[in-house]
Amino acid sequence: MDTTTANPNKLTSKDFVSNQDVKWCPGCGDYSILKQVQTVFPDLGIPKEQIVFISGIGCSSRFTYYMETYGMHSIHGRAAAIASGLKAANPELAVWMVSGDGDALSIGGNHFIHAMRKNFNLKYLVFNNQIYGLTKGQYSPTSEKGKVTKSSPFGAVEEPFNPTELALGAKASFVARSIDRDPKHMQAMLKRANEFKGTALVEIYQNCPVFNDEAFFAFSDKETKKEEAIFLEHGKPLIFGHQDEKGIVLDGLTPRIVNIKENNIDPSTLWIHDETDKAKANLIARFFDTHFDGVHFPRPFGVIYALERPVFEEEMTKQIAAITAKKGKPSLNSILSGDKTWVIQ
């Protein structure tokens, strides 16, 4: 059935395409992310006039111009502060944030961790290309150790941030990862984030063809993807490998890689992913590193952790209602002055 004929008022992806020329470099992963967002949004059932995109500064932050919704291209690193204020003032809005790895985790790092902690009901998309693209190729907070750039000509000497691990440490309630070259997976993660009540972080690996080309090639190329990436599904065992021959088990608090076929292992005895288990989510997030006896683990994609808890704007509204019912509506002066005031003679 032609659904557009059956329901002429149903939105389509074209309804979310603005009249602005898209100005990213040819081959930029941002094109794919924009396409997937515009593809998914008609199915979310949210009126366009209730959708707002807030971005910071950077290549990713041009996103607001290309979505035919309300939006603001805001201040470097401060998108979370502006989005939080908007959500507090008008909780009915569907607020989506767009930020890059530098914007979110460097100058905006403090806002990032407090956005996770406060848990407004908003969606936070971090486009991670492991480089500063707009300012022409300096290393970023997620660039790998040893990365040679214009600002690290002999190689970066510090350890990079792992955004999912950082978010979990900051009390995030939803953490997921996807990649620009897997449209179906990204669409699924966007839908999951939308369904979740709370701050939903989706880190999206995004290729920068000019300054950091193919940084994530191993996770999407058909020759290496099955070995280097593991796709998480709630209630399913952790399995990867070219022939799905490898699995992960948990030996106490230490993950181990086992060969399922060689050892005739029942898949049901492997580590079964539980996205509500915070302790295990922290271990999965650390597959980014090689901290487990130096073993190289596949990079996890999918929902790493998701467990709803009270959202900030509802708790704030309850508090205001309780105070108003007990004391009446206080004046702004009384709130600012507080109870501890005195007169200087």
Which range has the worst mean pLDDT, 26-35, 241-250, 282-291, 300-309? 282-291
How much of the chain exceeds pLDDT 70, in percent?
Answer: 98
> What's the whole-number mean pLDDT along residues 28-51?
97
Residue 107 contacts residue 134 (beta carbons within 8 Å)? no
How much of the chain exceeds pLDDT 90, in percent?
Answer: 86
Residue 189 contacts residue 176 (beta carbons within 8 Å)? yes
Planar angle of CA 160, 161, 164, nearest 5 degrees: 145
Domain ranges of the chain: 3-215
Residue by residue, DSSP assigns 259-295 as ETTTTT--GGGSPBP-TT-HHHHHHHHGGGS-TTTT-
If one counts every other C-beta atom within 10 angstroms of the C-beta of residue 11, the result is 17
Band of residue 334 on the pLDDT scale cut at 50, 70, 90: confident
> What's the whole-number mean pLDDT along residues 166-193?
98
Helices 312-327 and 79-89 cross at an angle (nearest 10°) of 40
Residue by residue, DSSP assigns 121-161 as S-EEEEEE-SSBTTTTSB--TTSPTT--BTTBTT---SPPP
pLDDT digits (tens, 9 = 90+) for 122-138: 999 999 999 999 888 99
First-to-last CA distance in the chain? 81
Q: What is the pLDDT of residue 4?
A: 45
Band of residue 2 on the pLDDT scale cut at 50, 70, 90: very low
Q: What is the pLDDT of residue 202?
A: 98
Residue 91 contacts residue 313 (beta carbons within 8 Å)? yes
| Nearest CA among 274, 239, 237, 259 for reference residue 229 | 239
> What's the whole-number mean pLDDT along residues 5-19?
84
**Looking at the predicted structure, is the pLDDT value of residue 1 above 60?**
no
Q: What is the pLDDT of residue 276?
A: 98
> Which CATH class, in words, describes the domain spanning 3-215?
alpha beta
The number of residues making up the chain comes to 345
Backbone φ, ψ for residue 177 (5° rounding): -135, 140
Band of residue 5 on the pLDDT scale cut at 50, 70, 90: low
Residue type, 319: Q
H helix runs in the chain, sequence order: 3-6, 30-40, 63-66, 79-89, 101-102, 109-118, 163-169, 183-195, 225-228, 278-285, 312-327, 332-337
> What's the whole-number mean pLDDT along residues 14-29?
96
Phi-psi category of 43—alpha, beta or left, where left has phi over 0 and alpha has psi -120 to 50? alpha
Band of residue 307 on the pLDDT scale cut at 50, 70, 90: very high
pLDDT digits (tens, 9 = 90+) for 90-109: 999 999 999 999 999 999 99
| Nearest CA among 132, 74, 131 for reference residue 98 | 74
Q: What is the pLDDT of residue 122?
A: 97
pLDDT digits (tens, 9 = 90+) for 213-260: 999 999 999 999 999 999 999 999 999 999 999 999 999 989 999 999
Planar angle of CA 12, 84, 16, nearest 5 degrees: 10
> What's the whole-number mean pLDDT along residues 327-335?
83
